[in-house]
Amino acid sequence: MKIIVAVKRVIDYKAIIRVKPDGSGVETSNVKMSMNPFDEIALEEALRCKEKGIATEVIAVSIGNEQSQDVLRTALAMGADSAILIKSDEALQPLGIAKLLRALAEQEKPGLILLGKQAIDTDDNQTGQMLAALLKWAQGTFASQLNFHDQGVSVTREIDGGLETLFLTLPAVITSDLRLNEPRYITLPNIMKAKSKPITITPAESLQVDIKPTTQILQLELPPKRRAGQRVENATQLVHLLQEAQVI
C-alpha cells in the first residue's frame, strides 16, 4: 500500500507572531518556518506503517511556493521515500488544497492519505474532511490510534469527553491528533541520505483544478495585551479585591 502524507510549511510554533502593519495578514519574512507539527505526527505514523510492512511506500506532498521544499527535505530525512511539491505562489485555502490533493491521489492511487488534523497557522481543520468528501473515501479525523486489518483500519478518535473507534475501509483519509505518536528525531546520516532522494515539482496549474479563493481575510489583529496580575497575601485579601472589582 502506498501512503501519501500532506505536509505544510508553517511558521514555527515557537516563533513570535507579528501581524503586518496594515492588518492584512501575518508577517512571514525573517520568521523561522517548519513542518506543521500535526503533519510530522502524520508522517511518523506513515513511516511506522512502512516499518511494520503495512505500507510499501511513503510519499510526502507539500503545496506551496519553492521554499516548501524545506519541509519536504525534512520529510525525506525523517524517512519518506520521495516527495512532491505542488508548486503555487498563490495563498491557497483548504478547498483548493483538497482539490489539488484529490487530483494527485487520482494519479498516485494511494491506499491511505494522512494529514494533520489542522495547520497551526490558519487553524482551519478542514482539508482532510474536504479531501475525503471529494474523493468519496472513508474519513477518520483526530486519530489517536490506528490498527490495520485485512479489510481496513480501525481508527480511535479523540472526541469531546472520550474516545470513539471507527472501522474504515480503504482507501481512506485520516487526520492525526497530538497523541497518535511522538515523531522521531532526524539523524545526521538521514539528513545526508535525504539529499539524494527525489523531489518532483509539479506546477499546480498542471493539475487543472479550480483553486480560486472563495474567502478573503478582511482584518487580522492580535488579542489585547493581558494586564499585569496582582499578588495577594491571603484569601481574605483576594475576596476583598474580587468584591471591589464587582466580580463576586
Q: Which residues fall within 8 angstroms of residue 36, CB to CB, at 6 or more apart?
A: 7, 8, 9, 10, 116, 119, 120, 121
Among 6, 41, 59, 84, binds ligand AMP (CB under 6 A): 6
Among 28, 65, 82, 126, binds ligand AMP (CB under 6 A): 126
**Within 13 Å and on the Cβ side, how many CA atoms surround 178?**
2
CB of 124 to ligand AMP, least distance (A): 4
* Interaction mask 68-107, ligand AMP, x per CB under 6 A: --------------------------x--x----------
Q: Could you check whether the bond before residue 213 is cis, i.e. omega within 30 degrees of 0? A: no
Among 46, 55, 119, 209, binds ligand AMP (CB under 6 A): 119
Taking the C-alpha atoms of residue 42 and residue 181, their distance in angstroms, rounded to an integer, is 9
In the complex with ligand AMP, the residue whose CB is nearer, 90 or 182, is: 90
Residue 62 interacts with ligand AMP (CB under 6 A)?
A: yes
Are 8 and 93 in contact by the 8 Å Cβ rule? The answer is no
For residue 205, give the DSSP letter: G
Interface residues with ligand AMP (CB under 6 A)? 6-8, 36, 38-39, 62-64, 94, 97, 115-116, 118-119, 122, 124-128
